[in-house]
Amino acid sequence: MTTALSPSSDGTILLAAVAPAVPTPPGIGEETERQLNSARPASAALVAPPYDVVGTVCDSARVVLYTANSDSQIATKSLTALRDFARAQGWTIVHELYDLAPLDTPRRHRAAWCTVERALHAGEANGVVAPAEQEIAWNPGDRPALRVWLLGIPAFAVFPQVGQRRAVHEHNEAGADTAPSAAGAPVDREWFRSYRLDDVASLRRVRSDALTYLTVLGWPGDIVTAVEVLARVACNAVVHAQPTDESDAHMDVLLAVTEDDELLIDVRDPSPEFRDSGAAINGEKGRGLREVRLLGADVTWSLAEDGRSKTVRARLVPGEVPV
């Protein structure tokens, strides 16, 4: 049975003998069919693991870390996260590789991925760890072929950032470690951080962090568009929500991906006022939210229960980017 990865109640990652189902593409051999069947759960009572696994994770795993991105900084950060993950499992890291290329670049045109293939075929490594399967096979129709190829070597693949049923939380600049909930949406995974309102540099950090963590969250939509939407909503907060008493104020940013792959972008600021909100949201007043709507986002806003702050939410769905 395939070995999968599962977090214990105290957050420690343990090995568990469960595995996600692997679809069987047509026209494969009997031996490969048997291996694919062995990767399916033996009982419906088994709970699917929070990480995608293809193949069998052996005790003496030697792995190649791999990611692909058009931004070298994001790729480097992804490799750092993968390194920490692999070391936590006690695996030996053979290579750390990334392709500086769009995700839809075919594997045969990726120099780093070709190195991964050679390492697996030569037995130098027996597994690959990547943030998500889509970073290796962007086209869903190509993923069964990737899995069959891995099983035929044989080798395994682990995708630790897919299917996570927990939030990606970080301590914010104010020292808090809890995130506001995205009530009313079936949230699958999320990320939260606070930024100073009186620091224009915060907007640069918002953009940089959003690029990184939308990739980490594995949202399948247009990440560049999502970053632009967040940047405009955050800019509105910096411009319009500054406190009059010059107090140390923050805005909270929450990125949440629902089970239907919708992206919820929440920006909470300390000003409960939203003058001419209807006109602004409809694009009849000001530029910021009008541009957000032109980028394809639905915009709403709400007051906090205590009436001391408000949250502006932009909702995006994967699909074509409006021209």
Task: Provide block-wise average pLDDT over 10 residues at a time, the chain (323 residues).
Answer: 35 32 43 46 39 83 92 85 90 95 87 96 95 82 87 92 43 38 62 83 87 85 90 85 70 89 90 68 65 86 80 84 51
Q: Is residue 5 helix, strand or coil?
A: strand
Q: How crowded is the C-beta side of 120, counted as CA atoms within 13 Å?
A: 23
Q: Return d(Cα 115, Cα 224) in angstroms, integer.
A: 28
178 vs 193: CA distance, rounded Å: 9
The tokens describing 182, both together, are 């995205």
Tell me, what's the pLDDT at 13? 31
Which value, in Å, is the radius of gyration of the alpha carbons in the chain? 22
Residues whose CB falls within 8 Å of the CB of residue 183, separated by 6 or more in sequence, listed in order:
none
- Are 202 and 222 spatial neighbours (Cβ–Cβ below 8 Å)? no
Q: Decide: 186 and 259 in contact? Cβ < 8 Å.
A: yes
pLDDT at 290: 79
C-alpha to C-alpha distance for 80 and 74, rounded to whole angstroms: 10
Torsion of CA 15, 21, 23, 29, to 10 degrees: 60
pLDDT at 6: 34
| Distance in angstroms (rounded) separating the CA atoms of residues 48 and 177 | 28
- 3-state SS assignment for residue 253: strand
Task: Using alpha carbons, select from 19, 300, 12, 306 the residue that is nearest to residue 158.
Answer: 19
The pLDDT of residue 309 is 83
3-class DSSP assignment, residue 189: strand
Handedness of CA 158, 208, 292, 173 (dihedral sign): positive
Measure the CA–CA gap between 239 and 267, rounded to whole angstroms: 13
* Amino acid in the structure at residue 242: Q
Spell out the residues 6+ positions from residue 271 whose beta carbon is closer than 8 angstroms to its own. 240, 241, 242, 243, 309, 310
Sole residue written with tokens 């399916």: 40
- Model pTM? 0.47
The pLDDT score that the predictor gives to residue 170 is: 41
